[in-house]
Amino acid sequence: MAEAEYDLPELSAIFERAANHLKSIIGKLENKQLLELYAFYKQATEGPCNLPRPHWYEMQAKHKWEAWQALGDMTRETAMKSYVQLISELDDGWREASLERSGGSGSGDNSSKSGWVAVSCMSNTDEHLDDAEKTIFDWVKEGNAEKVREFARKSSLDDSNITDSEGMGLIHWAADRGNLAMLKCLVKDLMADVDMRDGDGQTALHYAASCGHADVVQFLLDNGADRSVTDVDGMLPIDVASGSEIVECLNKVD
């Protein structure tokens, strides 16, 4: 069934609701579908791809860049419609579900931040690399703490707060993937900054909260993470929290 025609404000509100709904179905989606949604979302919110091509070894970033780049000069309005249409195809009851969560207002204004909230769901898009070709980011993504320490030692890495082409630090990847052992390695052994911000101003606490990793959220708080840090959209970690357990944890007074 074709999507109905909407004026721009109405389309924008529906698009925001669809983007927020993604969090409730993201675990059921295949990598190809996630890439399509990522590309449409970026095109709708930022326009045509404006990032340089990632380094050859950043396979995940490369796949996402290619998906966005492939949309060419598609208008933001068309991208929003395409995003909503794809969400509708993946979950035909999403409209009713999203209205229930927002109290039936249909305004698209709720407590969760819309957008691309769980890059870890695309973890299997990485292509195989020989060990000799891997960077410390690859070892963090794979959760190999021993290799991370070894890489840092052999390369004389003196800055654990380096970022990749997406503006994400090692601590963001570890938090996003819910790897508590890797977080401990980065924070305790490599002295990573627990409040390091990515290109969107989000900290590891934002990532862990939005991805539903309660144990990581607690670890970060226990190690001094600032729950009052806001991202570029003014969102706190609690604003993007997924699940009541994490909300309760972030609300707890020390």
pLDDT score at 130: 65
Question: Taking the CA atoms of the chain, what radius of gyration do you get in angstroms?
Answer: 19
Class of domain 8-101 (CATH, top level)? mainly alpha
Residue stretches of the chain with pLDDT short of 70: 1-6, 55-60, 98-132, 155-159, 253-254
Name 138's Cβ contacts closer than 8 Å, sequence gap at least 6.
57, 126, 129
DSSP, res 163: B
Torsion of the alpha carbons at 130, 132, 134 and 140, rounded to the nearest 10? 100
pLDDT score at 124: 40
- Its pTM stands at 0.55
Distances (CA, A) of 79 to 11, 99, 105, 195: 11, 22, 24, 33
- Sign of the Cα pseudo-torsion (72, 75, 76, 80, in order): negative
pLDDT score at 98: 67
Name 229's Cβ contacts closer than 8 Å, sequence gap at least 6.
195, 197, 201, 203, 205, 206, 236, 237
Whole-angstrom distance, CA of residue 223 vs CA of residue 16 = 34
> Which CATH architecture does the domain made up of 130-251 adopt?
Alpha Horseshoe (1.25)
Whole-angstrom distance, CA of residue 126 vs CA of residue 61 = 9
Domain map (residue ranges) of the chain: 8-101, 130-251
